[in-house]
């Protein structure tokens, strides 16, 4: 009888232990984007490796298009299903800090992290001297070109200036090699602002001066004028006004563009013979400059991982973020997004097979130009997106469209 009681007690203790373990399992909700940079499969594989190493933490992953990332993060804050970890764009820390959306993680950032991560990457997660997460996707837009088409056109080297890009596109068009040699991401979305910013950087323009809009003149006006001229000339694919980055990638991979501005991830995807007609013919250089003003141009398109202020599991969330942003994880998945860690660029596992991209990155990442830092970024971006569309469609002259955008920017 005593033995039976002991066995029952043992079974009961085991059940209680298992139940307590089940209760002890922490569930994290994490929000990512389903386009560009790391693929959904990569994020799932990284997360699986994390949960294998941390079996007491489960991570529920949700993927949305980039366009839904901001609103989904903000709207979830007040609900019971708030996220613990969110991917955020370099343009949002000011707004997220003002709205208490993200936790200030400055005390968690170690000296080792500060020294090991590229200085430019930290600007992705900083606002007003505080850190609101860890940089994760270090990115800028590069000029991709089809080596075979340039060779057929008798062009010896890719363009070093935006004017030269137009000249080379005209040669390609005149020789009947392609009807519209250039593709851009000019849909009425943030993608267009990234292309615009690259051109603003090349022209040494300003978005804001003393917190007020300054983009209706100078280099920013020159940037939009260039976009409109390229569109009206017929050198730019007319569908560019509806294209996002993935549309540009598909057009380029099909051999229908000689030049395309896009993020890092396109390099290895366009070089994959399983999906691309231009594999082995993909050239990449930093986005061009403007004679007398700049040698290269680049937009800061980096993104970070942060903990929301609504999270009930901030310790576990930070554990997950540090795993996802670690050098070991980033080096393993360096084919779609380059690491934030300076010493990674000396690792053959990172550089092998993408030496051309790394060479372009060394110049492009050093020249990254920020989109405006303001808590009212969303209103400003929306106004600029509209100005770009109106200008491309000929509904307003670039100067007038930008003037209206300045009035509607909320600044």
pLDDT of 200 above 60:
yes
Q: What is the pLDDT of residue 309?
A: 94
Distance of alpha carbon 298 from alpha carbon 139, whole angstroms? 9
Q: Return the higher-pLDDT residue of 368 and 22.
A: 368
Q: Where are the domains of the chain?
A: 2-139+301-361, 141-299+376-407
Model confidence band, residue 82 (pLDDT cutoffs 50, 70, 90): confident
Q: Is residue 150 classed as helix, strand or coil in its secondary structure?
A: helix
- Region of poorest pLDDT, from 13-22, 96-105, 124-133: 13-22
Q: What is the pLDDT of residue 120?
A: 84
The stretch 401-411 carries a mean pLDDT of 93
- Region of poorest pLDDT, from 117-126, 194-203, 212-221, 307-316: 117-126
**Model pLDDT for residues 212-270, shown as the tens digit of each residue:** 999 999 999 999 999 999 999 999 999 999 999 999 999 999 999 999 999 999 999 99
Q: Is residue 254 classed as helix, strand or coil in its secondary structure?
A: coil
The topology under which CATH files domain 141-299+376-407 is D-Maltodextrin-Binding Protein; domain 2 (3.40.190)
Tell which residue, 150, 158, 142, 173, has the closest CA to residue 236. Answer: 173
Q: What is the pLDDT of residue 23?
A: 47
Q: What is the pLDDT of residue 79?
A: 65
Tell which residue, 110, 149, 104, has the closest CA to residue 131. Answer: 104
3-state DSSP helix/strand/coil % of the chain, to nearest 5: 50, 20, 35
pLDDT of 3 above 70:
no
Residue with tokens 């109106």: 390
H-state helical runs in 209-325 = 218-232, 245-253, 266-270, 314-324
pLDDT of 352 above 60:
yes
Distance of alpha carbon 265 from alpha carbon 249, whole angstroms? 9
pTM recorded for the entire structure: 0.86
Distance of alpha carbon 341 from alpha carbon 339, whole angstroms? 5
pLDDT of 401 above 50:
yes
Buried b (16+ CB within 10 A) or exposed e, 337-349: bbbbbeebbeeee
**What is the percentage of the chain residues whose pLDDT exceeds 90?**
84
**Model pLDDT for residues 140-199, shown as the tens digit of each residue:** 999 999 999 999 999 999 999 999 999 999 999 999 999 999 999 999 999 999 999 999
Q: What is the pLDDT of residue 81?
A: 67
Q: How many CB atoms lie within 10 A of CB 275?
A: 12
- Region of poorest pLDDT, from 75-89, 176-190, 397-411: 75-89
pLDDT of 15 above 70:
no
CATH superfamily of the 2-139+301-361 domain = Periplasmic binding protein-like II (3.40.190.10)
- As a whole number, the mean pLDDT across the chain is 92
Q: What is the pLDDT of residue 336?
A: 83
In contact, 285 and 142? CB cutoff 8 Å: yes
Which residues on adjacent β-strands are paired with residue 289?
161
pLDDT of 5 above 60:
no
């Amino acid at each position: 009888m005593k033995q039976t009681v002991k066995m029952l007690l043992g079974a009961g203790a085991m059940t209680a232990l298992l139940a307590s373990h089940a209760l002890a399992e922490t569930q994290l909700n994490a929000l990512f984007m389903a386009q560009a940079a790391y693929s959904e499969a990569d994020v799932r594989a990284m997360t699986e490796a994390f949960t294998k190493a941390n079996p007491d933490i489960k991570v529920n992953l949700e993927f949305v298009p980039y366009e839904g990332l901001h609103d989904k993060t903000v709207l979830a804050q007040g609900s019971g299903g708030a996220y613990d970890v969110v991917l955020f764009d370099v343009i949002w820390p000011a707004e997220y800090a003002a709205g208490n959306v993200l936790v200030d993680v400055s005390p968690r950032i170690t000296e080792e992290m500060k020294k090991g991560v590229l200085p430019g990457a930290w600007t992705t997660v900083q606002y007003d001297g505080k850190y609101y997460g860890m940089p994760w996707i270090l990115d800028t837009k590069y000029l991709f070109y089809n080596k075979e088409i340039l060779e057929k056109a008798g062009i010896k080297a890719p363009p070093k200036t935006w004017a030269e890009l137009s000249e080379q596109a005209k040669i390609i068009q005149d020789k009947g090699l392609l009807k519209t040699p250039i593709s851009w991401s000019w849909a009425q979305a943030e993608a267009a602002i990234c292309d615009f910013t690259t051109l603003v950087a090349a022209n040494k323009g300003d978005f804001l001066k003393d917190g007020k809009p300054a983009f209706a003149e100078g280099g920013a006006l020159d940037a939009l004028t260039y976009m409109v001229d390229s569109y009206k000339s017929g050198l730019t694919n007319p569908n560019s006004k509806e294209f996002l980055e993935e549309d540009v990638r598909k057009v380029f991979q099909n051999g229908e563009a000689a030049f395309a501005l896009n993020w890092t991830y396109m390099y290895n995807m366009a070089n994959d013979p399983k999906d691309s007609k231009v594999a082995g013919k993909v050239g990449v250089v930093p986005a061009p400059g403007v004679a007398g003003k700049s040698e290269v141009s680049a937009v800061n398109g980096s993104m970070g991982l942060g903990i929301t202020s609504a999270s009930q599991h901030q310790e576990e969330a930070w554990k997950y973020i540090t795993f996802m942003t670690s050098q070991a994880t980033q080096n393993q998945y360096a084919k779609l997004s380059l690491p934030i860690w300076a010493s990674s660029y000396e690792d053959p596992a990172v550089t092998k097979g993408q030496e051309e991209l790394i060479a372009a990155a060394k110049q492009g990442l050093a020249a990254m130009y920020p989109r405006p830092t303001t808590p009212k970024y969303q209103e400003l971006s929306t106004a600029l997106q509209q100005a770009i569309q109106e200008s491309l469609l000929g509904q307003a002259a670039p100067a007038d469209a930008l003037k209206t955008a300045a009035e509607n920017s909320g600044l």
